[in-house]
Amino acid sequence: MLKQQALEVIYQSISEQGILASSEKRDNYARVWSRDSMMTGITGILIQNQTIIDGLEKSILTLAQHQAENGQIPSNVYGDKASYGTLVGRTDATIWWIIAACEYIEHCKNNLLKDTIQHNIYNALSCLKTWEFNQRGLLYSPLGGNWADEYVTSGYVLYDNVLRYWALKNTAKVYDDSDLAMQAAATKKLIENNFRKNSSLETKYHETAYQKASKKPYLWASLNANGYDERFDLAGNALAVLLGFDFNMEAFTHFLEQLNSEFKHWMLPVFYPIIFPQDPDWKLLENNYSYQFKNEPYHFHNGGSWPIYLGWLCLGLKKRGFDEIPLKILNQYENLLKEKGASFKEYYSTNQLQPLGTDKLCFSASGYLLMTI
């Protein structure tokens, strides 16, 4: 029943241009967003749903048609208008497009599309290369430069760099490109070397900051010129788990259990710890929004719980042989959907478990479907 409702949310969002973020006509959600449509499309591939896969193809082509001169893929497209970000550009839009385009080509064995968009994919990868800024291998993102566009992470962000590894790995496989395969391996090594305490003797990006950073049971959220943001980024860590990064999985799952104990539920926060008005980082939050301020403590990016990233977490944990926590998360989410209505809201507040944000969101429907795989 819930699975069918999740599918219906996605079906209602499939347009001639591709998969919209939501069928709801609110703010700017009724658009083909790169990250939303690509994640939804990959979910369609994983569950082998042809309707969603066909929607993904439309999304890939729509976004490719509006690729910027520098190779950047739009954050979203509406009609004949493309947006590459408002307050700042969005780094992850370009990366998710590469990942999903390659996943689609690989799944469908679509050689025509493979040849047609090869230059688009390589131009997009070239754009990402310029965003290193220092030619040292890690991608640099501005404040608000990815899906957490009203949050505080910036610089060499874990999430964006893990995604870039995935994009390089996928392209290398689809186009049998040994140079990209080597670049993918180097990127993975750089992330493992710089986003956790380790015994590697290789030079760190920021030796001073690295020495001062504390050991955590997860990969740190970001690195900047002024040091590390040691927060827990659930999205970045979930994708790193899924993609086979070197983890102490026992320590990581124990940390997830600790979060469950603290919040008293399994709708885990997407960033932790929470930022409060008395904290220094509050100043980075309070003006960073386009429509209205959403990042009150326990809400939105500031400790809200996003089913889409819980879905990726469940998928990654199960791939590593950890089935217990994914089942607990799935049961928690199903209970909330039954109690509060299966409308697949954008996120839940982690203090009161209130469903909030945009309704009928493909992100959340996809998150549920990922949990059930």
Q: What is the pLDDT of residues 205-250, one digit of tens each?
A: 999 999 999 999 999 999 999 999 999 999 999 999 999 999 999 9
Rg (Cα) of the chain, in Å, rounded?
19
183-192, 284-293, 315-324, 355-364: which has the minimum mean pLDDT? 284-293
Quickly state the pLDDT bin for 354 (edges 50, 70, 90): very high
* Six token digits for residue 186: 């180097």
Whole-number pLDDT of residue 23: 87
What pLDDT was estimated at residue 291?
Answer: 82
Q: What is the pTM of this model?
A: 0.97
What's the CA gap between 169 and 182, in Å, rounded? 9
Q: For the chain, what is the mean pLDDT?
A: 96
Residue 125 scores a pLDDT above 80: yes
* 286: three-class secondary structure by DSSP: coil
Instruction: Return the top range by mean pLDDT from 27-31, 284-288, 369-373.
Output: 369-373
Is residue 68 within 8 A of residue 62, CB to CB? The reply is: no
Q: Does 25 score more than 80 pLDDT?
A: no
Q: Which residues contact 185 (CB under 8 A, 6 or more apart)?
A: none
Q: What is the pLDDT of residue 174?
A: 98
pLDDT confidence bin for 28, thresholds 50/70/90:
confident
